[in-house]
Structure 1
Amino acid sequence: MVLGIIDLRLFQHVAEMDNPFSIIAFIYTWQTLISGVLALTAAMGTIHVMNLQRRDEWVKHNDRIYRSSLSARAKMPDAIDDISLYFKACFEFIKEGLSDFPKQPEKSINVLKESIQFLDNNSAEMIYELIVFYQIYNARLKSHSESRGTVDKDDIYFDTIKINSMNLNIFDFARNREKVISKRKLNRDDLKRSIIDLIGFMNWNLNPANKDFEKHLECIVEIRCPS
């Protein structure tokens, strides 16, 4: 702007003078460099302000995700309990040959689906596997019901034991006792714990047949689960 006001010939005249320390001569000689430095400084200032804005937006974004994650985790215990009751109802449905199909816990399943986006990779994958198998399980259970006993009952027993065990694996995480869901294959011990959860601790003195039934379920597990 200054260079536009002052006659450039004056700059040239001063620059040709013997005084090499003249400020005007210095500006005239290095005007391109000075302009570049000023432009660079302005650009760096702009970038700094933009970085501060982005950092502020990132913090707010993380806060929103964190609160959404807490909201999802807060809903999980009730959802897991509801799903567990469904599997117990399915177990009773199979065992007693009931006609009324258990009501599916769709709202609770949706809670798990929504929670996936806020979880760590391992936990998200384990819940995803539960949801996928839940869909497969319902199809098999319906097929078993419609087949009127022609489908192997032990197969659907095993599926019920397995999916209940997958659900039990999420309990501690849902109750915030664990930070992540352990990503591992189910073993016999997991499945046998699932049997106890499904049938409860039966009073064998009053009903000895209950002990035989539990042993039958354990045999199903041992046949279908090598280790």
Structure 2
Amino acid sequence: MDFWCLIKDWQTGIVGLLAVVVAAAALFWDRKDRRDTWLSKNQAARAQMPDALAELSQYLSGVMAYLRGKAEELPEPRREAIKVLNKTIEFTDPETASNISKLIINYQVHVSRMYKSEAMFDRNEHVYDISLISAYISRLFEFSRGIIKHVPDMKLEAREVINGLQQNIELYMYKPGDAEFDGVVEIIKRRHSDPA
């Protein structure tokens, strides 16, 4: 039996094997192309994230100024920043996406309370909402700048939310025992715990 007879007898098998190799190569390149596209979209979404988070932080400071009587009007909600964050969710890992989602949900609750039914909630609840959103923003800033690869999905600790409160008071003026914010700190301690 010579080489050509062997090929003739096994041509169907050889063609089938070649088809499998070509299909595997096509799948590999398709996956690589999809991965490259996903990475590009991830980087594009992440590139916009620091500006969106900064815009939300500025908005929260404006709301805090309003609640403290230092501004006459509430600032407008930041819908464009939320759109950027929504887009970012599509292209991040599940844990980071969960943190972004929690930020957006708490922001939407805040806006609903602040603009539709301000009188129904006391000032401490509004300040708590601002502190909570600020804590999520702080968690996400390092990710947005590419310093860390993902943000673990863990419950916020009281110290993180208190830091969020401090971020929205002029130059970290809050000190423990500050009567203006004692009610907010009590809410934070009741709803969040610090690790033992």
Which category describes the TM-score, using the shorter chain as reference length?
0.7 to 0.9
> Structure 1 residues 225, 49: CA separation in 2 closer, same or farther (over 3 Å shift)?
closer
Structure 1 unmatched runs, 5+: 1-20, 205-209
Q: Deviations over 1:97-136 (max 9, x none)?
A: 8553311111111111001111111001111111112111
1:60 corresponds to which letter in structure 2? D
2:168 corresponds to which letter in structure 1? L
Q: Secondary structure at the match of 1:176?
A: coil
User: Shift of the alpha carbon at 1:57?
Assistant: 2.1
Task: Quote the residue 1:154 is aligned against.
Answer: 124
Q: Secondary structure at the match of 2:35?
A: helix
Task: Quote the residue 2:98 is aligned against.
Answer: 125
TM-score normalized by the length of structure 2: 0.84
User: Shift of the alpha carbon at 1:64?
Assistant: 1.1
Task: Quote the residue 2:64 is aligned against.
Answer: 91
Q: Secondary structure at the match of 1:96?
A: coil
Task: Quote the residue 2:46 is aligned against.
Answer: 73
Give the alignment of 1:1-227 within 5 angstroms: 35=9, 37-96=10-69, 100-145=73-118, 147=119, 151-201=121-171, 211-215=178-182, 217-225=184-192, 227=194
- Distance in 1, matches of 2:141 and 2:59, equals 15
- Distance in 2, matches of 1:191 and 1:157, equals 11
Structure 1 runs, 4 residues or longer, greater than 2 Å off: 97-101, 200-204, 210-227
> Structure 1 residues 48, 224: CA separation in 2 closer, same or farther (over 3 Å shift)?
closer
Residue range with higher mean Cα deviation, 115-124 or 182-191: 182-191
User: Shift of the alpha carbon at 1:217?
Assistant: 3.8
Query: How many pairs are equivalent?
Result: 191
> Structure 1 residues 87, 42: CA separation in 2 closer, same or farther (over 3 Å shift)?
same
* Contact 1:202-1:211 at 8 Å conserved across structures: no
1:63 corresponds to which letter in structure 2? D
- Distance in 1, matches of 2:87 and 2:149, equals 18
Structure number with greater Rg is: 1
* Contact 2:124-2:181 at 8 Å conserved across structures: no
> Structure 1 residues 121, 59: CA separation in 2 closer, same or farther (over 3 Å shift)?
same
User: Shift of the alpha carbon at 1:220?
Assistant: 4.1
More contact order relative to length (CA 8 Å, sep ≥ 6): 2
* Contact 2:38-2:91 at 8 Å conserved across structures: yes
2:143 corresponds to which letter in structure 1? F
